Structure 1
Amino acid sequence: MDIDWGALAGVFGVSLGITVVVVVMFALGLAAWARAGHEEPAPDVSRGRHQKVAVVTAVLCFAACLAVAAYGIDLIVPG
């Protein structure tokens, strides 16, 4: 049995990188969702365009996380 250490390191590096990207995107989505006022509303926060931009940012971040997860499942499950 021969192990291709270069390929193993490549798979490890890509997996680690994608994991970090997904965690950061999810954290940014949560921060944008909170900024949009979907938790407790702050008394000094004005509503309007900033709220819409924050909601769109949160949805895009969550959609990116979902897309990565769906692609990973597609790779694993034979079809």
Structure 2
Amino acid sequence: MKVDWTALLQVFGATLLATVVVVTLFVVGIRALSGDKKVPAYASFAGCVAVVLYGLSLIVF
């Protein structure tokens, strides 16, 4: 059995990047809601939902 370390590193990098993007979008949305900026907050939350749904579609399909 041989482990493809390059592929493992790519998966790790993609996971780390996706996590940072989702957390950043969520924090921006929370900050926008606390400042009474509804439209940017909802756009940030929509971005979070889009990233999560894209990840789920990669897993399922």
Asked whether the two chains share a fold, i.e. TM above 0.5, the reply is yes
Which one has a larger percent helix, Structure 1 or Structure 2?
Answer: 2
Q: Indicate yes or no: 2:50 matched with 1:67.
A: yes
Of the three residues 32, 35, 38, the one matched with 1:55 is: 38
Deviations 1:33-69 (A, max 9, x none): 1110xxxxxxxxxxxxxxxxx2111011000000011
Structure 1 regions of 5+ residues with no counterpart? 37-53
Could you tell me which residue of structure 2 aligns to residue 18 of structure 1?
18
Percent identity of paired positions between Structure 1 and Structure 2? 48
Structure 2 regions of 5+ residues with no counterpart? none
Displacement of 1:7 in angstroms is 1.0
Moved over 2 A (4+): none
The two structures, once aligned, show a CA RMSD in angstroms of 0.9
Distance 1:72 1:10 in 2: 15
Tell me which amino acid in the other structure corresponds to 1:7: A
TM (norm. structure 1) is 0.72
Q: Which has the higher contact order (CA 8 A, sep 6+)?
A: 1
Q: Quick check: which has more Rg, 1 or 2?
A: 1
